Every structure is written in C-alpha cells, then in structure tokens.
Structure 1
Amino acid sequence: MSLLLDLPLITDPWFYAVSIPAVLLLGLSKSGFGAGFGSLAVPMMALAVTVPQAAAILMPVLLVMDLLGLAAFRKDFDVPMLKFLIPCGLVGIVIGALLFRALPAHVVAGLVGVFTLLFLAQRLLFPPKPGSAPPPRWVGAILTATSGFTSFIAHAGGPPINAYMIPMRFSPVKFTATMAVFFFVINLSKWVPYGMLGLLDMRNMATSLALLPFAPLGVWAGVKVARRIQPGLFYRLVYAGMFLTGVKLVWDAVAHAG
C-alpha cells in the first residue's frame, strides 16, 4: 500500500467516487451481464478528468477484465463470427487513431448516443418477426467498424456492435463469449496508438493500478448472473443498459456544446 501511495497517482477523492462505480459497471459489461453499461465508464470518469485521460486510465483495467472474460468463456465463442468481426473492428481502430486529435470526444459520444437510441426505437417499434433474417453482412461491417472507432475514442464500442449482434439471437453465453474475444483483440490493438499519442504516462498508469482491485469484482458478479439468467430477461437488460448509455452520452454532448 505504501508503494502505491508513493506513485504519482490521482489523489482527488471525487475522481475515485465516480471511477470505482465506473470500473464495477465496466466489469458487469465485460462479463456480458448489463452489456451497454460499459460505455458509461468513460462518461462517468469524465466528470472528474478529461475523456482522453479517462480512456487511458482504463486501458490496464480493460486488459485485466478481458483476460478474466476470456478465461470464463474460453470454450463458448463463435469462431466464424469472430473471423468476420475482428478485421472490421480493426479498421475502425485505425480510423479512430487517425482522427483522435481532430475530432472532439464529446461529438463522438453524442453520435454514439443518438445511434443507440435510434436502434432501440427501431427494435421497440418494429420488432423482428419470428424467422426474420438477421442484418446483412455489409450492415454488420459498418456497425463493427463503427464499434472499433468509438471504442478507440471513448471505450464505447458496445452499442454499435450490439446493434448487429443482438438480432443474431445467440444464446447469452455464446453472445458474451464472442464479445469477450472481440473486445480483447480490439482493446489490445489500442495500446500502441495510445502510447504514440502520449496517453500512457506514469500518472495515468499509477491511477489505473489503484483501480485494478475493483476490476475482477464486477466481472465475477456478471459471469455468475450471465450463466443463470433467462435469454429474454438477458436481452431486456441489454436494452435497458443501452438506453441509459444513449441518454447519458447525448446529454453530455448537448451540455458540452451548450
């Protein structure tokens, strides 16, 4: 503990008051339970620090959570789907890295929020009929690349890819496992460009170390629930998480613009 206190970490109590719940919500999302809530982590932390700094602080936390998720669902993911998703997601990472300095993070957050709410409105007003076809692959490619892009900017990659994956009607465990592998690859690919952008400094990494003990708690709780929950309830909770995320992101974007 004394060694941790000697590091140049953030000491503002308000930062930890918003960041610890953010990390717990991120853990729930990484486990698959409450998918959509993970996109709230950066906006919550942005109440105390800038969006780029919040995103950088979460990088080691995400790595630990991704590894825990892989260990929990290592036998349940869909390989053919991942062969399609991962290249599309990496395209979005490249675009995000190129535009990171030019595009305000609150603009991206607002766009993600609007897209999320539009998707939920479509699902509620025009629900898919039994036996209806899933979205075409070209739609999936665009949504997955968007997921990579928004993941790079603000770790908010969940809503776009959920818009493609939810209509696939995977079981909760297969859905969760496939997303765990996808985001492990996507988050791992961010390390080099984040380093090149100067975001992985000692202060951010030391602060991340202080938050790490809370990472497995959220993942553990989410994994326990995900393996016991009924599919219908599971997806209703996914929709609830996406709704709250969309409202939060749009609200923040409008408030920033005003």
Structure 2
Amino acid sequence: MEIFPDLELVQWLWVILAALLIGVSKTGISGLLTLVIPILAAVFGGKASTGIILPMLIVGDVFALFYYKHNAKREDILKLLPWTFMGLIFGLIIGGYINDEQFKSLIALSVLLCLFLLIYFEKKGDQLKIPDKTWLHASVGILAGFTSMIGNAAGPIFSVYLLAKGVDKVNFLGMTAWFFFIVNVTKLPMQVFIWHNITVQTFLLTGLMIPFIGIGAVFGAFIIKRINEKAFRYLIIGMTAIVALKLFF
C-alpha cells in the first residue's frame, strides 16, 4: 500500500468492497454494480472514480467470460454496438468539458435513469415487449454508450433490453459478459489518453484487487441460483437511489 500514499484506509476499504461487488455483479447479480458506482464517485470524485472502476470492470468481464463465454446471441449484440460506440464518443466529449461536481451529477442522473428503468420493468414484468426496430437499437445503444462512458452505469439499460426481448437466463449472462467486455475495452484508451484518469498506478491498484474480484466472481456464480433475486433487487434499488441522490447534495 506504500506505493499509494494518497489513499487513506477508508478509501482502501471502499476499493476492496468495490472489487468484491464487481466480481459478484459480473457473474451473478448485476444490480450490485449500480450500488458501487455512486459510492466510489462520492469517495473519490466523479471522473477519478470512473478511472478506478474501469480496469477492475475489465478484469470482472474476463471472469464472466470464463463462466459464460459460450452463451450469447451474437446478432443482438451486433445490432447495438455501432450505436453504443456513438454514445461512448458523445459521453467522452461531454465529460471533457465539465467539472467534477457536474460529472458527479451526471453519474447520479445516469444511475437514477437506470433505476427508473429497473423499477418500470419490475412493474411491467412479462407485459413489457420491445419491437425489433432500428430506432430502438439506436436509442438503447446510444443511451448505453453514454451512461457507460460517464459513469459505467449502462448495466440496467442493457438488462432491461435483454429481459424485454425474452432472453433466457444463460444467454442473458453470456450476452452481458461479451457486450460489456467489448465496450469497456473500447473505453480504456479513451480514458487513458483523453481523460487522463487512468495511470500506471491505476493498473497497479487493479492488479492488487484481482484476488478480490476473483473471490466475488466465484461467489456470484455460486449464489446466482440460490438467492431470492426479486427481494434483493428491491434492496439494491432502494440503497442505490439513496446513494445516487447523495451525489446531488
């Protein structure tokens, strides 16, 4: 830890907790990531927190691919990716012109938007059906790209999209793993060379967190079939709403 003199003990604890929850979210309960994002933004600042989280997310994506790489409908991912890349560029430009308080507010807005979508889907359930139209792929892709770039908060958007399309559980996990691995790897050079919020120390920090991400990933794969997901989603929605609102104040 001596190579990170600027990190206080409480920050180390938050990073370790984030690493564990990222692992669980990637192989099990994706809603956990929505809770991690605003917490780290409050602790480290908006743009700095996205730099800390992104390399850890990529490690988590690799663990997820280890478990679910053979389960994915490629055509549904390919329909979104071109639009998602547009959303990433839009987020990259916006993020370069705002200060940290505005950045945190955008993260909060992104998270709250995703929470709204999750709550809406909870209420609609099986009644929610989405058409296979270009305008929809464009809307979902751009929104997912923008919220991913600004706050790594595109998970609920992509989840609602897949669930509304009736994707089964195994393919859901596989498609989520592939989609976010591609998106997060694409974001990496943008944040290194344009936002400059990922450094050598950031990668070293991620290296130290790999065991915790791995533990979380194993735990997530273990509990995904054993937990009452509906009750847990309600808990995550409530906690995340509180933390996201805290970013505004």
**Structure 1 length-normalised TM:** 0.83
Pairs within 5 Å for 1:137-148: 137=133, 138-148=135-145
Give aligned-pair identity as a percent: 20
Q: Given that residues 92 and 148 in structure 1 are in contact (C-alpha distance below 8 angstroms), is that contact kept between their aligned partners in structure 2?
A: yes
- How far has the Cα of 1:62 moved from its partner? 1.7
The equivalent residue for 1:27 is 23
- How far has the Cα of 1:162 moved from its partner? 2.0
The equivalent residue for 1:212 is 210
The equivalent residue for 2:191 is 194
Q: Given that residues 39 and 243 in structure 2 are in contact (C-alpha distance below 8 angstroms), is that contact kept between their aligned partners in structure 1?
A: no
| Paired AA for residue 192 in structure 2 | G
Mapped pair 1:48 → 2:48: no
Aligned residues: 244
Q: Given that residues 30 and 155 in structure 2 are in contact (C-alpha distance below 8 angstroms), is that contact kept between their aligned partners in structure 1?
A: yes
Cα distance in structure 1, aligned partners of 2:51 and 2:8: 17
- How far has the Cα of 1:22 moved from its partner? 1.5
Select the structure that is richer in helix.
2
**Structure 2 length-normalised TM:** 0.86
Cα distance in structure 1, aligned partners of 2:226 and 2:51: 33
Cα distance in structure 1, aligned partners of 2:35 and 2:81: 23
Q: Given that residues 143 and 163 in structure 1 are in contact (C-alpha distance below 8 angstroms), is that contact kept between their aligned partners in structure 2?
A: no
| Paired AA for residue 23 in structure 2 | G
CA displacement 1:154-201 (0-9 Å, x = unmatched): 211112222322212222221011000000000000111111221122
The equivalent residue for 2:107 is 109
Cα distance in structure 2, aligned partners of 1:114 and 1:46: 14
Cα distance in structure 2, aligned partners of 1:240 and 1:174: 25
Alignment gaps of 5+ in structure 1: none
- How far has the Cα of 1:116 moved from its partner? 2.8
Q: CA RMSD in A?
A: 2.4
Q: Given that residues 35 and 242 in structure 1 are in contact (C-alpha distance below 8 angstroms), is that contact kept between their aligned partners in structure 2?
A: no
CA displacement 1:127-176 (0-9 Å, x = unmatched): 443xx633553234312321211111121111222232221222222101
Alignment gaps of 5+ in structure 2: none
Cα distance in structure 2, aligned partners of 1:208 and 1:236: 31
